[in-house]
Amino acid sequence: MSFEASLFVAFFLIVGSIIAISAIAQGRKRAEQVEELKRLASARGWKFESLLQKGWRIERWNGTTDGIAWTAESALHVSGGSHGKRRSYVGRWHGSFSPGINAPIAAMGVPKGKEVMTTQIAGGDSWIAKMAQKAVGFAFDKAIDVYFGDALGKEVDAGAMHRVDAQKIPGFIVMAADKDEGARILSQGFEKALIDALNDSASIMANEDRPWVLLRPNGISLARMNKFRDTTELEGFVRAGVALTRAFTFGRRSLS
C-alpha cells in the first residue's frame, strides 16, 4: 500500500473513531438524563419513560393529582436532509376528566392583542371568502393534530368548529363545535378560570407562549409547541390543567 493510501485509510479510521466515541458519550449522557428524570418523577409519585415513536423521541410521564389521572409528553422530532435539519418540539398534558360537554371546545393561547382571527377578516359569502375560510379550517385541523397528537386529532373535526362570539378573554381564541354550548361553558366558569390564570404571574397561562386548551367529553388537554424545559415546568402544566377542571360545575373525574 502506498504512503498516500495509508494516510487516506488512517484519516478515515481516525474520523470513524471520533464519531464512535462521540456517539458513545452522547448515549451515556442521554442515559444519565433519563435516569435523573426517572428519579425526579419517582420523588413526586409519578412514572417516567423515554421511547422512540414514529420518528419522535418522546419523554412521557404518568401521574395522578387531586384525583385527576394524567399523562404528559415532551416530544422531539428531527427532519430535513442535506440543506439542514429542522427540530420540532411539543409539550402536552392530558387529564382524564369529563367537563360535562357533548362536543369539543378549544381555547387557543396567543399573545395578547393577537386575538383577531383570519376567519373574521375573510367574512362574507363570496367564493374567495369561502375558499379562505376553508383554508383556515384545514390549517386549524392540522394544528390540532400537531399540538395534541394524531389520536386526539381524529376525535376532533376542527374544520367544523366555530369561534364563540362575545368572548372577552385576552390571550385566547375560543372555538367550539357547538357555539351555544361553548358560550354556556364560558359563562358557567371557564371564562373566569382562563382570566384568573392569565392574571396569575405564577401560572404558565400568564406567559406569552401560553398553551392551547382542548376540552372533550372525556378529557382536558394542554399543549404548546415547545418541550418541557424541566420537571418544574411540567409541574406548572399539571397545576394549570388540574386548576381548570375546578371550573366545571358538572365536571367529574373520568373512569376511562
Please write the tens of the pLDDT for every residue from 20-67. Answer: 555 455 555 656 777 898 999 999 999 999 988 877 889 999 999 999
Q: Which of 40, 222, 55 is nearest to 148 (CA)?
A: 222
Percent pLDDT > 70 in the chain is 71
Domain boundaries, the chain: 1-43, 45-253
How far apart (Å, rounded) are the C-alpha atoms in residues 70 and 183? 27
Please tell me which residue, 134 or 193, carries the higher pLDDT value.
193
Q: SS3 string of the chain?
A: CCHHHHHHHHHHHHHHHHHHHHHHHHHHHHHHHHHHHHHHHHHCCCEEEEEEECCEEEEEEEEEECCEEEEEEEEEEEEEECCEEEEEEEEEEEEEEECCCCCCEEEEECCCCCCCCHHHHCCCCCHHHHHHHHHHHHHHHHHHHHHHCHHHHHHCCHHHCEECCCCCCCCEEEEECCHHHHHHHHHHHHHHHHHHHHCCCCCHHHCCCCCEEEEECCEEEEEECCCCCCHHHHHHHHHHHHHHHCCCCCCEECCC
Please write the tens of the pLDDT for every residue from 57-75. Answer: 899 999 999 999 999 999 8
Give this prediction's pTM.
0.79
